[in-house]
Amino acid sequence: MEMETLPNGNSATATVTDAAAASATMTAPPSKLNQLAEFLKLEHQFLRVPFEHYKKTIRANHRIVEKEMSVVISGVADVAGGDLSRDVAVQHLNSLVFRLQGLKRKLEEGSRTEHLQAQRCRARLDHLESADAENLSEWSNTRLKRILVDYMLRMSYYDTAMKLAESSNIKEFVDIDVFLEAKKVIDALQNKEVAPALAWCAENKSRLKKSKSKFEFQLRLQEFIELVRAENNMRAITYARKYLAPWGATHLKELQRVMATLAFKSSTECATYKVLFEPRQWDYLVDQFKQEFCRLYGMTLEPLLNIYLQAGLSALKTPFCYEDDCSKEDPLSQESFRKLALPLPFSKQHHSKLVCYITKELMDTENPPLVLPNGYVYSTKALEEMAKKNNGKITCPRTGSVFNYSEVIKAYIS
């Protein structure tokens, strides 16, 4: 007997606005409206990422203005209060004017960038508001392509992601530029360079501090380890005093452990310190950066594709899926899906339906199940057709056993 469970309709949710759901037409079928509402609950990342990128650009432009204006005001004060000759004062003021002109160009460029990012936020809002029951199929297709591009970007398939986005005309709906920004840091870490990652930490210092991130500390530790590996101990000590000592109040134990490598060195066989010199430490830094990057932009830590697949698999997962005679039509009959669903709980099912192994049709009171002498169950329609074609003989498709149609017993569904 093959059982195929009915999902409850549960899905992963995220705390996002579902204002676009209000734009759905009231004449649409309730089932489609409900489906649309569930879709919109999962669009948190779709709106959050461009908004965070927009805010980051505004903050960067603000910092540039503050820095440049501080220098200009200080320069004017020096000219006004200093005992300078007329020519020197004019030359000094001219240099400040050139600096202000440079600031103007930077602000014009920054303004264009802000405008483009604001347009992207608006395009995404419009896309969500355009969703209704009539164009649900087309809208869902676009959504699927967005999810695939997100997966490709996270897996570092940048060229493929860009080609799919361009061919599908969804460049405004995906975050290629954001991931390309992360790519520079990831490539550098894979090449055992920490400078771009440290620059990224400095650029986002306030937000990383607010989230109590220790990523910068881990980068500093790795840089110290590389100095010890190169047996440049004096430089390592100087580096530790300047960059690691400020972290002592909050990360003393880790700091003490790393400082001990000065005595053990990179050739040590002591497991506690040997692990610090292993190449996998760089892989750990890459993974940690990806997590910090996702948190910064409000992204899910897992690819959206995995989340959606797990949401669907959690509704389909039952103990029967892991039996040897699980139907090949069940997604969980495939090893890759079983692996993805492994940490998920079994689905809570209130109702089940019986599906015939032969015809794949529902077995109910109109097409009741019949039990063969070997215990396998098939639909009345399937066995009657088989008996007609084989002079009353029935062959069990699973075991190959042959029976007379008169031997089957009717099963009753309670």
Q: How far is CA 26 from CA 29, 125, 133, in A?
A: 8, 20, 9
Amino acid 15: pLDDT: 27
394 DSSP β-pair partners: 403
User: Has residue 151 been placed in a domain?
Assistant: no
- Which segment, 84-88, 239-243, 332-336, is predicted with the most confidence on average? 239-243
On the question of pLDDT at 127 being above 50, the answer is: yes
| Mean pLDDT value of segment 60-82 | 85
- Distance, in Å, from the CA atom of 366 to the CA atom of 295, rounded to the nearest integer, reads 54
Q: What pLDDT band is residue 27 in, cutting at 50, 70 and 90?
A: very low
Per-residue pLDDT at 33 exceeds 70: no
Q: Do 282 and 306 have their domain in common?
A: no
Query: Containing domain of residue 370, as a range?
Result: 356-410
Q: Kindly tell me if the per-residue pLDDT of 143 is higher than 70.
A: yes
Q: Is 356 exposed, middle or buried (0-12, 13-18, 19+ CB in 10 A)?
A: buried
Based on the fold, state whether residues 319 and 217 are members of the same structural domain.
no
H or E, element range at 74: helix 44-81
Question: Does any domain span residue 162?
Answer: no
Residue 284 — very low, low, confident or very high, per pLDDT cuts 50/70/90? very high
Binned at pLDDT 50, 70 and 90, residue 414 comes out as: low
* pLDDT score for 26: 33
Judgement on whether residues 222 and 272 belong to the same structural domain of the protein = yes
Residue 395 near residue 413, CB atoms below 8 Å: no
Q: Which domain-ending residue is among 95, 129, 163? A: 129
Between CA 259 and CA 3 the distance in angstroms is 61
Tell me, yes or no, whether 292 and 344 share the same domain. no
Q: Tell whether the model's pLDDT for residue 8 goes beyond 60.
A: no
- CA dist 373 and 408 (Å) reads 7
**How sure is the predictor about 3, in pLDDT bands with cuts at 50, 70 and 90?**
very low
Q: What percent of the chain has pLDDT over 90?
A: 39
**DSSP states of 114-162:** HHHHHHHHHHHHHHHHT--STTHHHHHHHHHHHHHHHHHHHTT-HHHHH
What is the rounded average pLDDT of the residues 259-287?
A: 91
Tell whether the model's pLDDT for residue 110 goes beyond 90.
no
Burial of 89 by CB count in 10 Å (0-12 exposed, 13-18 middle, 19+ buried)? middle
Give the pLDDT mean for 231-255: 92
- Determine the average pLDDT of the residues in 51-63: 88
Check residue 366 and give its pLDDT.
86
Phi, psi angles (nearest 5°) of residue 20: -65, -20
Q: Give the single-character DSSP code of 325.
A: T
In one-letter notation, the amino acid at residue 106 is K
401 versus 413: the higher-pLDDT residue is 401
| Residues 231 and 337 reside in one and the same domain | no
Q: Supply φ then ψ for residue 409, to 5 degrees.
A: -120, 140
Residue 309 shares a structural domain with residue 402? no
DSSP symbol at 242 = I
Is-contact 110 60, C-beta < 8 A?
yes
Mean pLDDT for the stretch of residues 319-348: 81
Indicate whether 79 and 122 sit together in one domain. yes
Q: For 370-405, what is each residue's pLDDT tens digit?
A: 999 998 999 999 999 999 999 999 999 988 999 999
Residue 158, token pair as written in the block: 């940048």
Q: Which residues contact 75 (CB under 8 A, 6 or more apart)?
A: 92, 93, 95, 96
**Mean pLDDT on 25-43:** 59
**Statement: residue 349 has pLDDT above 70:** no
- Domain-embedded: residue 116: yes
* pTM check: above 0.85: no
Which of 236-240, 388-392, 409-413 shows the lowest per-residue confidence on average (mean pLDDT)? 409-413
Evaluate if residue 350 carries a pLDDT over 70.
Answer: no
Four-residue CA torsion sign, 126, 128, 132, 135:
positive
Rounded CA-CA distance 100/57 in Å is: 20
Residue 281 within any structural domain of the chain: yes
pLDDT in tens, 168-196: 999 999 999 999 999 999 999 999 999 99
Which stretch of 37-46, 140-149, 191-200, 288-297 has the lowest confidence by average pLDDT? 37-46
d(CA 113, CA 126): 20
Residue 240 within any structural domain of the chain: yes
Q: Do residues 319 and 370 share a domain?
A: no
Q: How does DSSP assign 244-272, residue by residue?
A: IGGGTTT-HHHHHHHHTHHHH-TT---HH
Is the residue at 160 inside a domain?
no
Q: Is residue 309 domain-shared with residue 290, that is, in the same domain?
A: no
| Per-residue tokens: 71 | 């220098």
So what's the pLDDT on residue 135?
A: 80
Contact 134, 25 (CB under 8 A): yes
Residue in this structure with the two tokens 């405008």, named with its chain if needed = 115
Q: Domain count for the chain, please give it.
A: 4
99 vs 152, higher pLDDT = 152
Pick from 7-16, 64-73, 294-303: least confident = 7-16
Residue 336 shares a structural domain with residue 284: no
pLDDT, residue 12, reads 33
Least confident of 108-112, 289-293, 316-320: 316-320
SS3 content of the chain, % helix, strand, coil (to 5): 65, 5, 30
Name the helix (H) or strand (E) containing 45: helix 44-81
Q: What is the mean pLDDT of the chain?
A: 84
Residue 268 in any domain: the answer is yes
Structure tokens at 319: 């103990």
Q: Are residues 185 and 293 in the same domain?
A: yes
The pLDDT value recorded for residue 189 is 95
The amino acid present at 277, given as its one-letter code, is F
Whether 153 maps to a domain, the answer reads no
| 368 and 328 together in one domain | no
